[in-house]
């Protein structure tokens, strides 16, 4: 169906597509936004909906948010009915993937003979195909990373035989991929950063924080406004008001908080006095444990 994603797997978040020979579906050519290709997916193609089964679709935060809002479901209900919790390879972080059906084909729960029933809110992966995006860490590139595109071609996909010409940028605009990328970019950067730590496991509390921001905006909002969060971090009042009602702004705050908590980055400013108070509390605990002496004492 139009915009249907194929071939990207959970491990494609590895962002090394040109190195991977794990799939010969990836054409090993780096593309730019102005690269051209022929493709069209519509109800008249012989393979219509053939690609909407037996696929591993990771749901980044904005994808999950859009889907569950469309269906009017809480995060918990969505995960129970449509999701699975997976530990993402090489990051060891928990993510939600879309649960395929139990039929022989393992169909996506949203596919029908007429196409995708959640089309306007379909996941990023379903929007990208056949033009995938990748990011490589590269010291000499701007911002230390190199973003580019690549083509995924699958034998059964007849869309490449259609006579419609696109640039990669035109395709992405048509599919609404840029908005999804903007909303999920901070999350992807956290995955990339975590991957750079190798197989090192983080404390469980950090995984829980990651999972809360990634999956449950309602709960994270309650946390921001119902805990000592706003007493701890110096956040402009105007931004606080936006976070109260704007899910996109809430997600961005969540990504900054995660970077601060998981990697000790200075993405959020701690309020004056809070750091001193924390140090005083830590010193008091040490005094209690070590009987009035510090660790070295």
Cis bond before residue 130 (omega within 30° of 0): yes
In the complex, least distance from residue 67 CB atom to ligand SF4, rounded to whole angstroms: 8
Judged by CB, which is closer to ligand SF4: 157, or 224?
Answer: 157
191 contacts 58 by C-beta, under 8 angstroms:
no
Q: How many CA atoms lie within 13 A of 152 on its CB side?
A: 24
Q: How many residues bind ligand SF4 (CB under 6 A)?
A: 24
What is the three-class DSSP state of 30?
Answer: strand
Residue closest to 87 by CA, chosen among 5, 184, 8, 194: 194
Judged by CB, which is closer to ligand SF4: 174, or 222?
Answer: 174
Pairing of strands 111-112, 93-98: unpaired
Judged by CB, which is closer to ligand SF4: 146, or 162?
Answer: 162
Per CB under 6 A, the list member of 8, 15, 26, 52 interacting with ligand SF4 is 52
Q: In sequence order, what are the beta bridge partners of 112?
A: 115
Segment 94 to 153, residues that bind ligand SF4, using CB under 6 A: 108, 110-111, 116, 118, 122-123, 126, 129
Residue closest to 206 by CA, chosen among 188, 219, 194, 221: 194
Per CB under 6 A, the list member of 8, 15, 26, 157 interacting with ligand SF4 is 157
In the complex, least distance from residue 289 CB atom to ligand SF4, rounded to whole angstroms: 53
Judged by CB, which is closer to ligand SF4: 48, or 180?
Answer: 48
Spatial neighbors of 172 by CB under 8 A, at least 6 apart, are 33, 127, 128, 131, 178
Judged by CB, which is closer to ligand SF4: 56, or 207?
Answer: 56
Site string for ligand SF4, 25-44 (x = CB under 6 A): ----------------x---
Residue 47 binds ligand SF4, judged by CB under 6 A:
yes
Per CB under 6 A, the list member of 17, 61, 83, 159 interacting with ligand SF4 is 159
What is the three-class DSSP state of 135?
Answer: strand
Residue 48 binds ligand SF4, judged by CB under 6 A:
yes
Strand ranges (E), 99-197: 111-112, 115-116, 131-137, 145-152, 165-167
In the complex, least distance from residue 223 CB atom to ligand SF4, rounded to whole angstroms: 29
Q: How many CA atoms lie within 13 A of 35 on its CB side?
A: 17
Judged by CB, which is closer to ligand SF4: 51, or 224?
Answer: 51
Pairing of strands 58-59, 145-152: unpaired
Q: Rule CB under 6 A: which residues touch ligand SF4? A: 1, 4-5, 41, 45, 47-52, 108, 110-111, 116, 118, 122-123, 126, 129, 156-159
């Amino acid at each position: 169906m139009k915009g249907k994603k194929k071939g990207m797997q959970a491990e494609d978040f590895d962002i090394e597509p040109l190195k991977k020979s794990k799939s010969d579906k990836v054409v090993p050519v780096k593309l730019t936004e102005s690269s051209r290709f022929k493709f069209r997916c519509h109800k008249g193609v012989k393979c219509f909906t053939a690609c909407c089964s037996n696929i591993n679709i990771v749901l980044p935060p904005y994808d999950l948010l859009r889907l569950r809002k469309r269906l009017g479901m809480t995060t918990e209900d969505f995960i129970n009915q449509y999701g699975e919790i997976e530990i993402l390879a090489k990051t060891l972080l928990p993510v939600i993937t879309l649960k395929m059906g139990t039929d022989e084909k393992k169909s996506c729960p949203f596919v029908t003979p007429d196409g995708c029933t959640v089309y306007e809110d379909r996941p990023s992966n379903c929007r990208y195909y056949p033009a995938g995006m990748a990011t490589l860490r590269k010291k000499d590139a701007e911002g230390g990373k190199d973003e580019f595109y690549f083509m995924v071609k699958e034998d059964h996909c007849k869309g490449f035989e259609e006579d419609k010409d696109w640039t990669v940028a035109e395709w992405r605009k048509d599919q609404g991929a840029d908005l999804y990328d903007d909303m999920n970019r901070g999350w992807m950067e956290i995955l990339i950063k975590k991957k750079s730590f190798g197989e090192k496991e983080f404390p469980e509390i950090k995984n829980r924080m990651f999972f809360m921001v990634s999956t449950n905006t309602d709960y994270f909002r309650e946390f921001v406004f119902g805990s000592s969060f706003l007493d701890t971090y110096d956040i402009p009042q105007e931004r606080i008001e936006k976070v109260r009602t704007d899910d996109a702004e809430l997600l961005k705050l969540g990504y900054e908080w995660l970077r601060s908590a998981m990697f000790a980055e200075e993405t959020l400013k701690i309020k004056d006095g809070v750091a001193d108070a924390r140090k005083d509390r830590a010193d008091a605990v040490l005094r209690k444990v070590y009987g009035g002496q510090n660790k070295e004492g």
